[in-house]
Copies of this chain bind each other. A is one copy, B any other.
Amino acid sequence: MARTDEKVRNLPAGKRASYTPETAAQGVQNVIRVLEGRWKLVILFQLFGGQVRRFSELERAIPGVSQKMLIQQLRQLEADGVVARIVHHQVPPKVEYHLTEWGQALCPALDALLIWAEAAPSDLRSRLIQATPCD
């Protein structure tokens, strides 16, 4: 499924839903609102690939995050239907998080953003692509 090919000639409109510049901007802003937040993407990438993690695992996997922020961002992602929450009623409590099917589908879209970043002119790349340890 090559969605963005020759048929899109420069505007992400004209197909499917038909956007005006205003509605398209709004649409993307809504998506960004779902994704923005200091820790959301980090959480997402911890969960991609069908992984299931409990709260404390995420807390340990994400250095620097506070409980407040972690739960806040998780709850927002949950409210937005990206992340699902499973409560195991037991002592000690156990709560697990994983991506919804729709959340998983974010991957190609984020990938498109990374591809765009990689295409940055060389004088700008330093701000977008960090020297990965595996360079």
Q: Complex: how many Å from CA A5 to CA B109?
A: 11
**Which residues of B have CB within 8 Å of A34?**
128
Residue total for A at the interface (Cβ-Cβ under 8 A): 67
Please pick, from B21, B23, B41, B108, the residue contacting A8 in the complex, using a CB distance under 8 A. B108
Number of copies: 2
**Which residues of B have CB within 8 Å of A21?**
42, 45-46, 48
Besides the known contacts A29-B41, A105-B119, 9 further A-B residue pairs in the complex with CB atoms under 8 A apart: A3-B112, A4-B107, A8-B111, A21-B42, A24-B110, A28-B114, A81-B123, A102-B116, A112-B112
A residues contacting B by CB (< 8 A) are: 1-5, 8, 10-12, 16-32, 34-36, 41-42, 44-46, 48-50, 80-81, 100, 102, 104-121, 123-124, 127-130, 132, 134
